[in-house]
Structure 1
Amino acid sequence: MIDQGIKSRPVYERLKIDPTGLRHHLVTDAAAFLSDPFVAGAEGLEVWSVGSREAEGVTARPMTEKGRNFRSVQQMLDRLAQRLEHEQMGLRLYAAGREEFLWDVHGIAQRAGMGKREIFLTHFGSQARRVHCVHCQTFNERVTTTIVRCDGCGANLFVRDHFSRRLSAFMGVKVDAEVPGDVPSAEQAYL
């Protein structure tokens, strides 16, 4: 029961340095992305990443002169917003990670005045989804099935393939709205 007809799914390409940029900054929520050829081959790339859960509570040193580790995604996003408030033209922002992370970064960059040609995104890691309940406005995190029980209102939601860039989430609609209690089996679809 996967929603096939939706065209709002973002399409991602591999990251590559934009030669028109003067400065290049990568943010990632996946420490494993640091071994990607993009990172190794990009000269002058400033890299911010989130430490692994195993490193929780351990103060990490920056990876390089132009690198920084954060203890959480939220801490990195908050710092990125502050940084972009004072940034000058010429910056190219690259993001790699889970889909909701990418679009949170994209939103922060757009609010800071960056344009579409200055922001580059690539999906890396889990396919788990952030699902927005259209009934109660709750965000359900790390959903891996086609049907999920909403954390807010308890409705059984069908996870649509419609992605909202504004909300950084897929849409969840009540699966049994027409016939209450008629809930099909959930399929494991997004690992």
Structure 2
Amino acid sequence: MMADNYYIITYGLEENVPILAWDESSREFSRNKPVSKKKYQLKIGEPKPNSIKVVDHFWISRPVVNKQLAECLSINIPEEQVQVVEVDIDGIDLSDSYYIIHLLQRYSCVDLDKSDVILNKNGRIRSVTNIVLKKEFFVDVPLNNRLAFRIDLDYEHNVIHQSIKEKIEALNPTGIRFIALKDWNVSSPFGS
């Protein structure tokens, strides 16, 4: 089934890897268009670990990745579908540059009749037991346009095609996991 080829990118489960927080407004990242600033400021979120492990992928409602992963994604995802935006991370001593991966494609592709999701009053996903993508999505949207995207009902989760997942995995990155979309639920980020 074509939907089996899609994954959610989420943070790894290593110890002492901080979750990041915005140190300035992130409003522009909720839109389906490039952000205007060339660089954003992030900080360590709460709770702060006692010691900090630097990984290739951090999390802040969008992937925050090192230069190698940013280059991999920008090479393998069409340019008009992704924006790579440099960040500074206050409180972490980094020897590499880091970037937010801002996916510009958002699709109305969830089959609400077959999915088990609860929406909030704004029509966004509040809780997920399982997500089923509409069959029309695979017919109407060419594969090259659905290699990496966000679901219109969900601001935070980035969906990637298996071919992109395999390119990332070939780099053996730290701090990142991929959960099959068909297995995604509200507990997935926590390793359940």
TM-score normalised over the length of structure 1: 0.24
